[in-house]
C-alpha cells in the first residue's frame, strides 16, 4: 500500500482552504493508503508565536482534523517524534542555499524585512522534506501552494542518494486536488486564504457557526456584474472565480455546471446558496470539533498514541539515514 504523509501547521483553526486543498483529501485517502498525518508544530514556530496559543491551537486543530474524519491512530504532533528534527538537520546540510533562495513562500512570508526573520523560516522546506522522507512516503496530498516545496524535497532526496551512493530515499509525488487547490481570501481574490491573515472576514474556519458562515459569505468581496454563463467570463474577476470554485468543489461539480445554474444572476441568490451549502457540509465538522474539545485529555492521548506509531515507522528509516551519513549510533 502506498504511504501518504501530510501536515498542517497548528497556527490557527483550519480554514476552508486547508479543508479543500488538503484535509478533505486526507480523509478520503485513508481507505486505500497507509496514511500518516501530522500537526507540524515545529513549523509553527518559524514565525513569531505565543506558547499558550500554540498549545491551544494544536489541541483545537487536532479536534478539527478528527472531526473531518481523520482516524485517531494516524494523527500526532511533529515535535513528539525526534525523527523530524534529526533528518531535518541532515537535510539542512544536503540542501543548497541557492535552492532555498528560490522558494516563493519564504519571500511571501518574509516580505521586504528578510533580515529580521528566523533562520527556521528560511530552512522550513528542508524540514518539510524530512517530514515526508522520514516515513518514505511517496504521495503527499497538498494545496497548490506547496508544489514548489515538494519539488525541493525531491531535489534533496536525489542529492542525498547521489552523495551517499544509494537509492535510499524514494521520489515523492504531490497530490494536488483538481478543484479549489488554491482557495483565495474572501476579502481579496489575489491573496490565498490563510490562517495568519489579520482579517477574520477573509476566511471561513471549520468551527464557524452557520451565522458566521452566512455573514462572511454575504460580506465576501465581489464585483458589480452578474455572474457569467461560462468559465471564460470569470477571467480577470478573481473574487467571482474564487466563490464559484468554492461552490464547485463543495458540491463536487464543475465550475461550468455551477455557472449553468447561476450564470446571468446577481451575487445575492448565489451567495445565499453558497452559504447554505457550506453550512450543510461544514456544520457537522464544527459540532463534532466542539464535542471533542470538551475532553482535552482524550485529544492528548490520541496524539500520544499517534506519535508512538509514527516513531515505529520513522525510527528505522532515520537510523539508516544516520548510518549512511556516517553517524555512529
Ligand atoms: N488557501 C488555500 N487553498 C488550498 N489549500 C491550502 N492550504 C493552505 N492554504 C490553502 C493547504 O493546507 C495544507 C496545510 O497548510 P499549512 O497550515 O501547513 O500551511 P500554509 O499553506 O502556510 O497555510 P496557511 O493557512 O496560509 O497558514 P499560515 O497562515 O499559518 O501560514 C497544505 O497542504 C496547504 O497546501
ipTM of the complex: 0.95
DSSP result, 260-287: HHHTTS-HHHHHHHHHHHHHHHHHHHHH
Pairing of strands 3-8, 173-175: unpaired
Residue 131 assigned as binding residue = yes
- Name which residue sits closest to atom 10 of ligand 1, judged by CA: 17
Phi-psi label, residue 136: left if phi above 0, alpha if psi -120 to 50, beta otherwise: left
- How many whole angstroms separate alpha carbon 226 and alpha carbon 102? 40
CATH fold, domain 200-291, is Tyrosyl-Transfer RNA Synthetase (1.10.240)
Q: Which residues are catalytic?
A: 109, 192, 195
Cα distance between the two ends of the chain: 30
- Ordered by start, the domain boundaries in the chain are 3-175+295-325, 200-291
Ligand 1 closest atom vs CA 144 = 35
Residue 9 assigned as binding residue = yes
Q: What mean pLDDT do residues 200-209 have? A: 96
* Residue of 292, 233, 314, 272 whose CA lies nearest to 69: 292
Residue 266 confidence class, pLDDT cut points 50, 70, 90: very high
- How many whole angstroms separate alpha carbon 20 and alpha carbon 85? 29
The residue to mutate among 22, 65, 103, having the most atoms of ligand 1 within 8 angstroms of its beta carbon, is 22
Are the C-beta atoms of residues 104 and 148 closer than 8 Å to each other?
yes
In this prediction the pTM is: 0.93
Q: Say whether 200-291 and 3-175+295-325 share the same fold.
A: no
Question: Any residues with CB less than 8 A from the CB of 255 and at least 6 apart, and which?
Answer: 179, 231, 234, 244, 245, 248
Q: What's the gap in Å between 283 CA and the centre of ligand 1?
A: 21
95-140 pLDDT tens trace: 999 999 999 999 988 888 889 999 999 999 999 999 999 999 999 9
CATH homologous superfamily of 3-175+295-325 equals HUPs (3.40.50.620)
Q: Which of 79-93, 101-115, 206-220, 270-284 is predicted least confidently?
A: 101-115
Q: What mean pLDDT do residues 270-284 have? A: 97
The pLDDT, as a whole number, for residue 145 is 87
- How many whole angstroms separate alpha carbon 14 and alpha carbon 62? 10
The grid coordinates of residue 49 equal 508565536
Ligand 1 pocket (Cβ < 6 Å) reads: 7-9, 11, 17-18, 20-22, 142-143, 145-146, 181-183, 192-196
- How many whole angstroms separate alpha carbon 67 and alpha carbon 71? 9
Q: Is 39 strand, coil or helix?
A: strand
Ligand 1 closest atom vs CA 181 = 4
CA distance readout (Å), 271 to 77, 78, 215:
37, 38, 10
Q: What percent of the chain has pLDDT over 70?
A: 100
Q: Is 6 strand, coil or helix?
A: strand
Q: What's the gap in Å between 319 CA and the centre of ligand 1?
A: 30
Helix axes 255-262, 267-293, angle to 10 degrees: 130
The pLDDT, as a whole number, for residue 143 is 85
Q: What mean pLDDT do residues 209-221 have? A: 97
Residue 17 assigned as binding residue = yes
Task: Quote the longest CA-to-CA distance of the chain.
Answer: 69
Amino acid at each position: 500500500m502506498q504511504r501518504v504523509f501530510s501536515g498542517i501547521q497548528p497556527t490557527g483553526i483550519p480554514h476552508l482552504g486547508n479543508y479543500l486543498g488538503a484535509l478533505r483529501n486526507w480523509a478520503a485517502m485513508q481507505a486505500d493508503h497507509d496514511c500518516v498525518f501530522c500537526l507540524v508544530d515545529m513549523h509553527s514556530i518559524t514565525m513569531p508565536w505565543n506558547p499558550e496559543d500554540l498549545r491551544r491551537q494544536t489541541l483545537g486543530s487536532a479536534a478539527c482534523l478528527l472531526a473531518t474524519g481523520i482516524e485517531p491512530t494516524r494523527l500526532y504532533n511533529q515535535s513528539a517524534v525526534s525523527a523530524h528534527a534529526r533528518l531535518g538537520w541532515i537535510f539542512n546540510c544536503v540542501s543548497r542555499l541557492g535552492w532555498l533562495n528560490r522558494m516563493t513562500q519564504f519571500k511571501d512570508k518574509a516580505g521586504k524585512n528578510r533580515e529580521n526573520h528566523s533562520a527556521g523560516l528560511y530552512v522550513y522546506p528542508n524540514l518539510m522534506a524530512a517530514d515526508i522522507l522520514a516515513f518514505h512516503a511517496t504521495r503527499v496530498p497538498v494545496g497548490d501552494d506547496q508544489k514548489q516545496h515538494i519539488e525541493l524535497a525531491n531535489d534533496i532526496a536525489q542529492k542525498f542518494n547521489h552523495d551517499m551512493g544509494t537509492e535510499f530515499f524514494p521520489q515523492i509525488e504531490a497530490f494536488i486536488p483538481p478543484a479549489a487547490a488554491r482557495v483565495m481570501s474572501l476579502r481579496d481574490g489575489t491573496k490565498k486564504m490563510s490562517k495568519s491573515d489579520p482579517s477574520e472576514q477573509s476566511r471561513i474556519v471549520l468551527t464557524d457557526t452557520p451565522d458566521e458562515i452566512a455573514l462572511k459569505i454575504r460580506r465576501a468581496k465581489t464585483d458589480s456584474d452578474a455572474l457569467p454563463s461560462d468559465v471564460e467570463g470569470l477571467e480577470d474577476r478573481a473574487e467571482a472565480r474564487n466563490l464559484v470554485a468554492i461552490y464547485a468543489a463543495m458540491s463536487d461539480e464543475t465550475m461550468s455546471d455551477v455557472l449553468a445554474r447561476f450564470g446571468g444572476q446577481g451575487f445575492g441568490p448565489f451567495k445565499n446558496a453558497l452559504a447554505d451549502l457550506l453550512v450543510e457540509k461544514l456544520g457537522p465538522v464544527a459540532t463534532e470539533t466542539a464535542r471533542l474539545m470538551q475532553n482535552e485529555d482524550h485529544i492528548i492521548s490520541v496524539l500520544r498514541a499517534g506519535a508512538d506509531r509514527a516513531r515505529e515507522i520513522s525510527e528505522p528509516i532515520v537510523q539508516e539515514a544516520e548510518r549512511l551519513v556516517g553517524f555512529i549510533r
